[in-house]
Amino acid sequence: MPELLPPRVLSPSESVFVISGTTVAQHCYGTGTLDEVALADAFADMVDLYPLLGGRIHMSRKGFELRFDRRKSPEVIVADVGDADVGDYVVAGKSALPLGQVCALRVYRFGAKFRLTFLLHHAIADADAALAYLHDVWKLYTERTRRVNGVARLISAPPPHPIPASAETLLRARGYSEPASRQMMDLRPAYRGPESIWTALRPRRAQRARVHLSMEQTDRLLDVGRAHGVTLNGLVSAALVLAEREMSGKTELSVAISSFVNLRTRIDPPVAPTEGTNVLGIAEAILDVSRDSDPLDLARSVVADIRDGLRTTRIHHTAFVRGDIRRALSLVRRYFLLVPMAGLVPTFTAIQVTNWGRVSEFATPDGVDINDFRCGVELHPVSAFIATRGIAMVEGRIYFVTSYNGRLSIDFTDLVTGTTSARRVEQILRNEIEKLIPAKVFE
């Protein structure tokens, strides 16, 4: 029995995700038969390799902390479901971790098709870490299923990884310090006007949608970026803010855009994916968008802002503080008289972009093929209820950008009311991306 690890108190950058009840969700879609026993053994190997995954989150006098008890290790859940629940993430969502648990592995299957869903509490893993863990799940599973002369191959168990450090710990060790104050993005330029409190209180439904380009479309979009000296992230961000303008129906619109930046390779010495939990900074900017805006100019603005933020370490310092709560309180103070005096609430246009980048192929045994990958975040039911029933002050979405099998994917969740549908957002966004790509790709 391995030695019991001491509790690990969560830092502010980790605790914020406990408060919001946020889970990082990864979904692998494929065909083939998965061996339940081998998968369960591989997942147990994962917990041995990464003791972090066997932890549970508790409240203590010091705040939130991880406690480790191997008697309560997470298990693999396998379920036979209908075809739609395997292949359609819009239908198959609503995944959430049980309270306190930090990870879960679930398999949903129908015939030869399956969806393997790996859930990680956002307090212990961001996108970079989550992908590394998922790759190891498949690697360990593949090793478990391989046979040499009819006998399972014996593989010596590697030593367990240490518990990963928080962003604050990693940055302080490299000479960064928390600033006495940070100039947070002022949302006032993204103010779109007052709205009736009764409109803002309308119940909303969470609908998922996706823009999924073909390999040829993705290649052409990359060609456009290379030809004009802008990144794929810049082009996608430009399309997103242009789509927000189109959805608003306004001739001109100011959009607040927050881009999450992986700092692991932007510090010295760099950090491996599983050596840190949420090693993220935030690039914040306001983009003024009109019908005549040049998407390439908008893309250059996004790229230039991120480069400047990294050069000046402005983005690095955002890892120390989470300004969203204080920003919300400052907005309430600034506009609170609208509510009692006129029954109005202020509304703003703001989006968040998390670019997971190119997702490499997963190791799989013979007969198993993974043909698609999707990602996103899930909320604990309490947080989800607040999101769909609370006062809506922000118009905008959180977008997750990935590329798997050479195809660009943009996933998002839209909070819709009445008869509105996330498909409208999907179509408008696709139209904006198509404008960037030579027309012959769509013939």
pLDDT one-digit tens code per residue, 67-93: 998 777 888 999 999 888 887 665 444
The structural domains of the chain, with segments of one domain joined by +, span 8-150+163-168, 188-361+377-436
Q: Are strands 398-404 and 407-416 parallel, antiparallel or unpaired?
A: antiparallel
Give the per-residue pLDDT at 217.
Answer: 95
At residue 149 the predicted structure's pLDDT band, cuts being 50, 70 and 90, is very low
Lowest mean pLDDT among 51-55, 243-247, 346-350, 434-438: 346-350
**Mean pLDDT computed over 175-197:** 69
Q: Is the peptide bond before 340 cis (omega within 30 degrees of 0)?
A: no
CATH domain 188-361+377-436 topology: Chloramphenicol Acetyltransferase (3.30.559)
**Mean pLDDT computed over 47-75:** 91
Residue 374 pLDDT > 90? yes
Q: Which residue would you say has higher pLDDT here, 9 or 347?
A: 9
Give the per-residue pLDDT at 386.
Answer: 64
The SS3 assignment for 126 reads: coil
Q: Which residue would you say has higher pLDDT here, 217 or 438?
A: 217
Q: What is the mean pLDDT of the chain?
A: 85
**Mean pLDDT computed over 218-224:** 96
* Model pLDDT for residues 112-128, shown as the tens digit of each residue: 999 999 999 999 999 99
Give the per-residue pLDDT at 181.
Answer: 64
Residue 334 pLDDT > 80? no
Q: What is the pTM of this model?
A: 0.90
Give the per-residue pLDDT at 218.
Answer: 96
**Mean pLDDT computed over 343-368:** 88
Give the per-residue pLDDT at 442.
Answer: 44
Give the per-residue pLDDT at 213.
Answer: 96
Residue 443 pLDDT > 50? no
Q: Which residue would you say has higher pLDDT here, 93 or 95?
A: 95
Tell me the H-state helices in 7-152. Answer: 12-20, 36-49, 83-87, 127-145
* Model pLDDT for residues 243-261, shown as the tens digit of each residue: 999 998 999 999 999 999 9
Query: Per-residue DSSP letters for 160-190?
Result: PPPPPBPHHHHHHTTT----S-------GGG
CATH domain 8-150+163-168 topology: Chloramphenicol Acetyltransferase (3.30.559)
The number of CA neighbours under 13 Å toward the Cβ of 331 is: 21
Nearest to 216 by CA among 372, 438, 400, 399: 438
